[in-house]
Structure 1
């Protein structure tokens, strides 16, 4: 049996995170299958009772996919409670190119990505600048406070 990976992120506003993480990962909002206009329409056609769907669920995309088909699907699951503690699992956006790339180039790549994501709604928690270790990275949070790194 084949195992596939889907990343699920609990959130208050799936639409906002679809927009942010599409920008961050270069993904696209996942279209509803089978020619349906919305996921809600698709779920209704599949026989999901209306009372099982929260208000607004499926009216706009709640998941994103890699247009190249390489990365995992990311689903933003609406939950009522807010985030209250540090993530135990986080994403690393690896944009620097690794240790074979000069530190100055990696720093520029990370900095450019951080600027782009801050403009999209991220916040910077800290910069990890360790020139003696030939290391540069940033810890950010998405619009709902979920931490991730840019390395």
Structure 2
């Protein structure tokens, strides 16, 4: 196999305490859907155990609901919410940017309206606003938020 021509498949993994909560939030944020378990299995836990993963290796409740989301179109990365025992304590080193404004060719007032509408939907779904980026000398407007477990992301 020629490794120089091997294409990597991107999956975004987010450590969290409550995968079901973040599946619901990020499905709303990204327009994704919860990923169904493969092979006709009723749950991901059932699928994992059919593949030889022991119950001892799975956290309590793991796999009983979807722990990943996928784009309905099939185009874009899978996002997996990995349950971990520790909570988030510092700023993310990597974050997601949700580009909803339409870019600089869209009039600033229209971009602001689109961004604000998305932020309103996300705060209703459990996000909190960290700060608004609205410099008077630029035509940029964006909002930094935190998901329900405190992970930072931007809407612009």
**Which of 31, 34, 37 is the equivalent residue of 1:29?**
34
RMSD: 0.7
**Which of 85, 88, 91 is the equivalent residue of 2:93?**
88
Deviations 1:111-147 (A, max 9, x none): 0000000000000001111242101000000000000
**Which of 84, 100, 105 is the equivalent residue of 2:105?**
100
Query: How far 1:50 sits from its partner (Å)?
Result: 1.8
Scaled by the length of structure 2, the TM-score of the pair is 0.95
Residue in 1 aligned with 2:119?
A: 114
**Which of 25, 28, 46 is the equivalent residue of 2:51?**
46
Query: How far 1:25 sits from its partner (Å)?
Result: 0.3
Scaled by the length of structure 1, the TM-score of the pair is 0.98
- Tell me the matched-pair count: 151
Is 2:16 the counterpart of 1:14? Answer: no
Residue in 1 aligned with 2:63?
A: 58
Residue in 2 aligned with 1:73?
A: 78
1: distance between equivalents of 2:54 and 2:83? 18
Structure 1 residue ranges, 4+ long, deviating more than 2 angstroms after superposition: none
2: distance between equivalents of 1:25 and 1:134? 25
Residue in 2 aligned with 1:142?
A: 147
Query: How far 1:70 sits from its partner (Å)?
Result: 1.1
Residue in 1 aligned with 2:3?
A: none
1: distance between equivalents of 2:107 and 2:135? 14
Query: How far 1:21 sits from its partner (Å)?
Result: 0.2
